[in-house]
Structure 1
Amino acid sequence: MKMIKTRAAVAWGPNQPLSIEEVDLMPPQKGEVLVRIVATGVCHTDAYTLSGKDPEGVFPAILGHEGGGVVEAVGEGVTTLAVGDHVIPLYTPECGECKYCKSGKTNLCQAIRTTQGKGLMPDGTTRFSKDGKPIFHYMGTSTFSEYTVVPEISLAKINKEAPLEEVCLLGCGVTTGMGAVMNTAKVKKGDTVAIFGLGGIGLSAVIGAV
């Protein structure tokens, strides 16, 4: 598979408006997957990074981490996904091998944390570029692009009947709100719960509480 062109909303620098650009995208390498993004949400974390206040924010970058898409190609060694599968990119990977994954604390998986925090793929490079200059990934997903390359361990396969424009929110907001109630607070039947703010996360917390 050769390099392709993709339209993306590029963040060239902090506090700069996103710019719709045609950028180059390298094909998926070993353990990676090419995903066509059908729908993406916009999270306050994207805005936080764009503000320049995020200590892990690197530029230029393609932001976005709430997405729903379709697998277009797979790299060498990919076994859990195939072309045509519907997926949700995850900013918290699950390698299935580290002590965190084996203990059920998959949100703490460290398999690719170091490179992901630097806007890089696991091999320490980027797949996006413009005029030969690299563009960084974001949270391992970069869903503000028509096409993106994501590690296999950062993708969740979903039912093809699920509407991607709705389930894309499962990538962050819904799981953050529900997870806070179910996994962190461990709310049980009969408990009284106070939720402050009813945005996407707050409403998801309500779902988790009932």
Structure 2
Amino acid sequence: MSSSRSNEAEVVDASVDAYSVAYGLERRQGLGLYPFVKRSMDIILSFIGIIVLSPVFLLVILLIKLEDSKGSALFYQIRVGKNECPFRMIKFRSMVTDAEDQLSALLLENEIEGAMFKMRNDPRITRVGRFLRRTSIDELPQLFNVLRGQMSLVGPRPPLPREVHDYTVRDKLRLTVTPGCTGLWQVSGRNHLSFDEMVELDLEYISRRSLRTDVMIIFKTFRVLLGSNDAY
């Protein structure tokens, strides 16, 4: 039995290595100071963002509670981070309080192929929540995840555990870096792209990540948020 498991592990490792080489994701020696500078930028910008946006946070909390006083204004959800480590991601609540219980009945309405669920007219989304999602304001509390080091400003979006359960070896390569609030997928079509296209963009980002690329994606994110209907 142990020999069989060992052989299976070797096959998986070989597959990971093969994909890493094919996509240029093998451990690179040329990253230099990038990880340190990236983390420093995450800490500084997320801290400034939390301070500057605190009035917005309070206003959004008030609007959510006015529409539904029973539920919490914040929504905590287990997501999978770097090296498949789970963490609690924070968002403003944009759905009804029992949204998770209703999900199973809506899975057949999924509008994206692959290990991901998206539905444009999701009946679980509240009126305030629809505005928050369209403007991506619901994502702002993730600045606290960035400050804690669970997320980065730029990187692949952190998936749900049930999504990772259906991942292929290739899909799991997107979990080799710290997940982000925004990324190449968000500025390249977002919900109009298929799951495979999203993975491809994430692998492209990982293969050529740099401080310049991160800054470019951050600026493009602001431009997309000001004139896009891709978020839902």
Give the structure-1-normalised TM-score: 0.28
Give the structure-2-normalised TM-score: 0.26
Relative to its length, the structure with more strand (as a share) is 1
Larger radius of gyration: 2
